Amino acid sequence: MVSRVLLLLGCLLLSAGGVCAAEIYGQLWIAPNNNPPIGATVSAGCGGDAQVDQYGRYRITGLASRTSCALTVNYNQRLSNPVNIYTADNRNAANFMLRVSGDRLLLIRR
């Protein structure tokens, strides 16, 4: 009896995690010519990372909802400044322009 209750509680916890999961998606481009940063990686401080595709799109899934995540981009051996994104329920759009300034990579939300 106790094992059935524990199994039921475990299943409820696992299913609740999937329901409360959020994602951040968007598109990146490099100023001033608006090319996609092919090979870039987007990382979320609250867990997860994603590769940028040939069109500059990225998607990070399985994040906790209703929390603040610091997004950073790694491109051409440069790490961008962090930008905080609040993960509301489900899907959250965040588009960014990248600007290379000397040895720095600036991440500007659009």
Kindly state which CATH superfamily the domain 21-109 is placed in.
PapC, C-terminal domain (2.60.40.2070)
19-71 tens-digit pLDDT: 458 999 999 999 999 999 999 999 999 999 999 999 999 999 999 999 999 99
pTM: 0.78
pLDDT at 12 over 50: no
Calculate the average pLDDT of the chain: 85
Q: pLDDT class for 1, splitting at 50, 70, 90?
A: low
Note if the bond before 82 is cis, omega within 30 degrees.
Answer: no
Q: What is the mean predicted confidence (pLDDT) over 72-94?
A: 93
Q: What residue spans define the domains of the chain?
A: 21-109
Structure tokens at 64: 């906790």
Give the Cα separation of 9 and 18 in Å (integer): 15
pLDDT at 14 over 50: no
